[in-house]
Each structure stands twice: as C-alpha cells, then as structure tokens.
Amino acid sequence: MLTHFEKMKNPLIKILVSIGSIVTIGFGLWHFFVPSIWNWYSYIDRNATELIIAVRAINIFFSLLLVLLGITNMLFVFRKLQDRFSTIVILSISGILWTTRVILQLVYPQGSQNSIIQYSMLFIFLFVWACFAISLLNLRITREKTEKLLELKS
C-alpha cells in the first residue's frame, strides 16, 4: 500500500519548493557572471595567480552547486513516487544553506552602501528560506496526520 508521502499531491509544498528552487537556480546562474560583472579579479594582485584560480574555481563550484540543488529539489518534490526521507534530506540541505545565507546577511550584510539593496537581499534570502522551512514543516504535519489515520484504520 502506498503511503500518503509516496503519492503526495500537496500543492503547497510543490509551489513553495518550486519558488525556492527557481530562486536558488537563479542565484546560481547569476553567480556564474558575478566575477566579470563586478570585476572581482581587479581587486586581486595579478601576481597572485593561485588566488585568482582558487576564487574562480570556488565561484564556479558554488554556482553549479546552487543550480544543481535547485533542480534536485524540484525533481524530488515532483517525482511520481515520493520518498519522504530523501525529500526531507534535500529540503533540509536547502534550508540549512539559506539559513546560513540569512545569518551572514544579518552579521556581515552585503549591499550596506545602499540600505534598499541590503534589506532587499535580506528579504529575498528570508523568503527563500521560508519556502523550504514551510515545506519541511508541512511534510512533518502531513506525516503526523497520516500516522494518526493509519492508526485509526488498524
């Protein structure tokens, strides 16, 4: 017998994860171009070639990670047969990532030269974090309801 999680049709989770994932993918794609847009390497001594290579590699790795994480989130949530544990793991990873970003924006804010940019970034980071946090909470609540229903049927 398929559990509720295996045939999950919860539209709220799908909508929130889609929004959070699209923004995550967008940030990943954006970061591929950030070094050239903001001319990052002009701030690094040209003789520090290893540092330039390292910054480039970290940025590419980070950008690709965001894109792949966003795609993976959507694949897990839109799969026909849901694996509750795997879905919780991947959404938790996204939640932890965006929690870290929110904390960093609070402690070491980017865009501090313009408060509109600074607080817009914080709002976006909080919004994406909330998409994943609410989805996880919803999975938890749905699980408890399913377990109670299964107990009643037994």
pLDDT value at residue 114: 94
Positive or negative, the CA dihedral 5, 11, 12, 15 is positive
For 110, list phi and psi in degrees, rounded to 5: -90, 155
pLDDT value at residue 82: 79
% the chain with pLDDT above 90: 79
Q: Tens digit of pLDDT for each residue in 31-80? A: 999 999 999 999 999 999 999 999 999 999 999 999 999 999 999 999 98
Query: Average pLDDT over the chain, rounded to whole?
Result: 91
Confidence bin at 3 (pLDDT 50/70/90): low
Residue 149 clears pLDDT 80, i.e. is over it: no
Least confident of 3-7, 24-28, 33-37, 51-55: 3-7
pLDDT value at residue 80: 84
pTM for the full model?
0.87
Q: Tens digit of pLDDT for each residue in 130-145? A: 999 999 999 888 777 7
